[in-house]
Every structure is written in structure tokens, then in C-alpha cells.
């Protein structure tokens, strides 16, 4: 199984428009952060989590040529804005894209991108063709990828993280439910929200993320959804062993999960 970080940045991206701070003007490519998303490949199955504002650019940069499904964490705009570019895969694969999300998330996508869901009259131009699947807490499978949803809190909002075998992805959160923590036991690699050093009402700070990573006990934790408050090289020096900043293009190789470990109970 290969996990590719397509984007590791906060909702405004890094560099931030109009900003001349040291991170936004950095020549270190790890300080260029597209909006948050990952790509999972396992035994021929290809799944993206979230279609960010930068979805098209991310697919081109990573060389994504086939895609079986898109799984959504929640419906904030920086996680759904690239929905229209799903149609490129419709052109190539000549079939609907399977999309998965919580009921409220799919409802928001249907409302914002209503032209893709109209059931009447001929379409005057191309639009994404999808088959949507509501998910919440129960595990589900996409080809050879079995996903276990994890209940996270993003301020007052429910967000889904996902466990796939010994890997888990928990972006856009400042709390993990008790059941979510139980389902995270025994993971090997975790990607976890870590916005910035200073407090935020809906995201973990770096210190909070480090403490959460310690409690969960993964062998390696990568922090994502990073703001321009953090310069990669400098911030990395202050992190404890086993915790690193994610960066765009990071690839994580893990054994393909067996069916028994894909969706722990």
C-alpha cells in the first residue's frame, strides 16, 4: 500500500496570497503546500480522500491516471472544491465515479454542484457523473481498500477520519472521539492535523497534535493541514522523535492490509 500526500496545507494554501512572510517566500519546496488531500493505492485500487481546490494540479503532479473512488472527510470548501475535475476521470474511464461521504457532506456537494445531479433534460456541457454512497461509522470497502471511519471533532462539526490497515488519516480536527481512539489502537503510521503553534478553535496546535500522537502511539506521525506559521526546516527541529511535518509529495509505503486488519472492531 502506498500513501501519497497530495496536499499538506491549510485552507488558504501556502504560499498565502499576498503574504511575504519567511514561509511564503521560502525556496524550500516543502514550504509550498497545496490544500489537504491524500491518495491511497493498494493492489490496483486507487482512492483519493477529498477533492481540494487543487485537485486537478495534484492529479497532474502525482500522475494519477485512474481513480476508483473519492472519499470525503467533510464538506468545508477546501475539501470539496475540486469536485468538478472528477469529470476528467469520467472521460477516461467511461463510468461514474464512486463518491463516499457523511449524509451532510453529500447533501452539501449536491447543493453546490447541483448541475452534476440533475435528472431532467439533456446536459448542455460536460459535468461530473458520480454515484454517491452515504457512510458514517460502519466500515466499507472500495476494491482492495477497506476503510474504517473515525469520528473526529472539528470545533462543533463532525468530521470523518479513516483507518486503512495500519494507517490512519485524521485531518481537520481538534478532538478524536473515544471510539475513534479505540479504533486507532495498533496503527503504524498516522497523518494528523497540526495547524500551527498558537491556539485555534477547530484545529490541533502543534503541541496538542504531538501530545495526541503520543497517546495514540503510532510508530510515525506526520502533521498536516499546516499553516504558513511554520517553516518546514525550522519547525522540524523542534519536533520529538516519531513526529514529522508532512509535505506535498511525501510517499509512505506500508504492507497491503489483510482483510482482518483492514476494518478493526
CATH number of 195's domain: 3.60.15.10
Evaluate whether residue 140 is within a structural domain: yes
Confidence category of residue 262, pLDDT binned at 50, 70, 90: very low
Q: What are the strands, taking DSSP E only, across 30-135?
A: 37-42, 45-49, 69-71, 97-101, 130-134
Q: How far is CA 247 from the centre of its chain?
A: 13
Q: Is the pLDDT of residue 33 over 60?
A: yes
264 lies in a domain? Answer: no
Residue 125: its pLDDT value, please? 74
pLDDT the model gives residue 265: 46
In a domain, 79, yes or no: yes
User: Residue 121 — very low, low, confident or very high, per pLDDT cuts 50/70/90?
Assistant: low
pLDDT average, residue stretch 114-142:
88
Strand order in the sheet with 251-253: 130-134, 97-101, 69-71, 45-49, 37-42, 2-7, 251-253
- Count of structural domains within the chain: 1
Sequence-separated contacts (24+) of 103-112 with Cβ below 8 Å: 103/134, 103/136, 104/75, 104/158, 105/72, 105/73, 105/74, 105/75, 105/80, 106/72, 106/132, 106/134, 108/75, 108/80, 109/72, 109/75, 109/80, 109/83, 112/80, 112/83
And the C-alpha cell for 169?
A: 488519516
For the segment 154-167, what is each residue's pLDDT rounded down to a tens digit? 999 999 999 999 99
Please, which residues have CB within 8 angstroms of residue 40's CB and are 6 or more apart in sequence? 1, 2, 3, 46, 47, 48, 49, 145, 164
| Whether the Cβ atoms of residue 246 and residue 235 lie closer than 8 Å to each other | no
Does residue 262 form part of some domain? no
pLDDT band for position 40 (50/70/90)? very high
CA–CA separation, 184 vs 163, rounded Å? 7
Task: Indicate the pLDDT class of residue 31, thresholds 50, 70 and 90.
Answer: very high
Residue entry with cell 479513516: 162
Return d(Cα 206, Cα 223) in angstroms, integer.
Answer: 8
The pTM of the full predicted model, rounded to 2 decimals, is: 0.95
Give bridge partners of residue 190 from the DSSP assignment: 168, 221
Q: Is residue 260 part of a domain?
A: no
Would residue 30 count as lying in a domain? Answer: yes
- Here the cell at position 221 is 506521525
Residue ranges making up the domain that contains 247: 2-254
Average pLDDT, the chain: 95
**3-state SS, residue 205:** strand
Amino acid at each position: 500500500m502506498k500513501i501519497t500526500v497530495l496536499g499538506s496545507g491549510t485552507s488558504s494554501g501556502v504560499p498565502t496570497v499576498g503574504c511575504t512572510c519567511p514561509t511564503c517566500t521560502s525556496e524550500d519546496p516543502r514550504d509550498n503546500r497545496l490544500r489537504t488531500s491524500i491518495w491511497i493505492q493498494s493492489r490496483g485500487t486507487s482512492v483519493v480522500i477529498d477533492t481540494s481546490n487543487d485537485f486537478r494540479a495534484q492529479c497532474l503532479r502525482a500522475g494519477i491516471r485512474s481513480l476508483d473512488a473519492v472519499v470525503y472527510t467533510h464538506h468545508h470548501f477546501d475539501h470539496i472544491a475540486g469536485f468538478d475535475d472528477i469529470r476528467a476521470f469520467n472521460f477516461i474511464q467511461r463510468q461514474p465515479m464512486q463518491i463516499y461521504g457523511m449524509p451532510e457532506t453529500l447533501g452539501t456537494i449536491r447543493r453546490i454542484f447541483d448541475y452534476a445531479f440533475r435528472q431532467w433534460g439533456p446536459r448542455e456541457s460536460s459535468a461530473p457523473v458520480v454515484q454517491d454512497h452515504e457512510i458514517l461509522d460502519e466500515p466499507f470497502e472500495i476494491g482492495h481498500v477497506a476503510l474504517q471511519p473515525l469520528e473526529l471533532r472539528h470545533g462543533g462539526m463532525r468530521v470523518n477520519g479513516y483507518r486503512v490497515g495500519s494507517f490512519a488519516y485524521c485531518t481537520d480536527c481538534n478532538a478524536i472521539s473515544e471510539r475513534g481512539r479505540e479504533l486507532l489502537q495498533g496503527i503504524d503510521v498516522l497523518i494528523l492535523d497540526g495547524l500551527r503553534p498558537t491556539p485555534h478553535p477547530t484545529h490541533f496546535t502543534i503541541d496538542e497534535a504531538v501530545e495526541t500522537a503520543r497517546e495514540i502511539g503510532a510508530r510515525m506521525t506526520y502533521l498536516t493541514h499546516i499553516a504558513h506559521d511554520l517553516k518546514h526546516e525550522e519547525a522540524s527541529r523542534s519536533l520529538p522523535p516519531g513526529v514529522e511535518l508532512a509535505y506535498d509529495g511525501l510517499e509512505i509505503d506500508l504492507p497491503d492490509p489483510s482483510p482482518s486488519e483492514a476494518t478493526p472492531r
